[in-house]
Amino acid sequence: MPLDPEIAARLKRDGDGLVPAIVQQHDTGEVLMLAWMDDEALHRTLTTGRATYWSRSRQEYWVKGDTSGHVQYVREVALDCDGDTLLVRVDQVGAACHTGDRTCFDADRLQAVQGPAAAPAER
Amino acid sequence: MPLDPEIAARLKRDGDGLVPAIVQQHDTGEVLMLAWMDDEALHRTLTTGRATYWSRSRQEYWVKGDTSGHVQYVREVALDCDGDTLLVRVDQVGAACHTGDRTCFDADRLQAVQGPAAAPAER
């Protein structure tokens, strides 16, 4: 059974048939990683409860944690306003990053000028 | 002055010279949106304190909030382990989404089977 046609009709894929998936720890809000899904990977993610991606480097489906044990149990999936990005909220077992870091964004903070704080009245 | 050459050397861009930027509210952890940056947009984001993207639809730089008032003040920028994704932590004024929603992921939750909770011992 393929991806629900109503969802498939809303997806806007890139030239390779892929959509970026932002992966977030559902309770702490940590952004864990970015991965890519085609229709089949999204279908498997929605129906198995295990986050499943398309590996662009290996050109194969990749059930997160199958080799590392660092499984992602799916809590919620949302599509953005343009239909071209997914947000996958998961319960991450152990490290999300292949380096052993909890997230793929832990190691390389760039030097940035901080913008002024937004005025509370505008929030 | 262009992007710091040490940062430029670590960036892995797509065929259009772009890198996806995940945008997150710095204190609540909300994932607000996904946008795209080239070297110049990243340089402006790091040096001006205002989140600046490359609009793929309009083919121009886009300082978030310049027309809407929904400014993003930059708090922190991180590059991921592969150098192909940015995480931009901001202080968002008002709605991040052009629809008026706080985030671009508020409107379209997909029906998903929930995975089992991870065993606490594994976390």
Q: Is the pLDDT assigned to residue A121 strictly greater than 70?
A: no
DSSP letter string, A42-82: HHHHHHHSB-EEEETTTTEEEETTTTTS--EEEEEEEE-TT
B residues 5-24 near A, CB within 8 Å?
7, 10, 20, 22, 24
Per-residue confidence (pLDDT) for residue A123, from 0 to 100: 45
Per-residue confidence (pLDDT) for residue B123, from 0 to 100: 45
Per-residue confidence (pLDDT) for residue A64, from 0 to 100: 97
Q: How far is it, in rounded angstroms, from Cα B53 to Cα B20?
A: 10
Contacts for A3-6 with beta carbons within 8 Å, 24 or more apart?
A3/A39, A3/A40, A3/A42, A3/A43, A3/A46, A4/A43, A4/A46, A4/B111
pLDDT, tens only, B45-64: 999 999 999 999 999 999 99
The answer to whether the CB atoms of B91 and A118 lie below 8 A apart is yes
Residue B15: how many other CB atoms lie within 10 Å = 8
Q: Is the pLDDT assigned to residue B12 strictly greater than 60?
A: yes
Per-residue confidence (pLDDT) for residue A1, from 0 to 100: 73
Q: How far is it, in rounded angstroms, from Cα B109 to Cα A88?
A: 10
Is the CB of residue A24 less than 8 Å from the CB of residue A33?
no
Top residue of B16, B31, B63, B99 to mutate, by most chain A CBs within 10 Å, is B31
A residues 78-97 near B, CB within 8 Å?
78-83, 85, 87, 90-94, 97
pLDDT, tens only, A13-60: 999 999 999 999 999 999 999 999 999 999 999 999 999 999 999 999
The closest CB to that of B80, out of A34, A48, A122, belongs to: A34
Closest CA of chain B from A3, distance in Å: 11
Q: Residue A69: is it exposed, middle or buried by C-beta count within 10 angstroms (0-12/13-18/19+)?
A: exposed
Is the CB of residue B87 less than 8 Å from the CB of residue B22?
yes
pLDDT band for position B120 (cuts 50, 70, 90): low
Please tell me the pTM assigned to this model.
Answer: 0.94
Chain B residues lying within 8 Å of A34, measured CB to CB:
20, 22, 80, 85
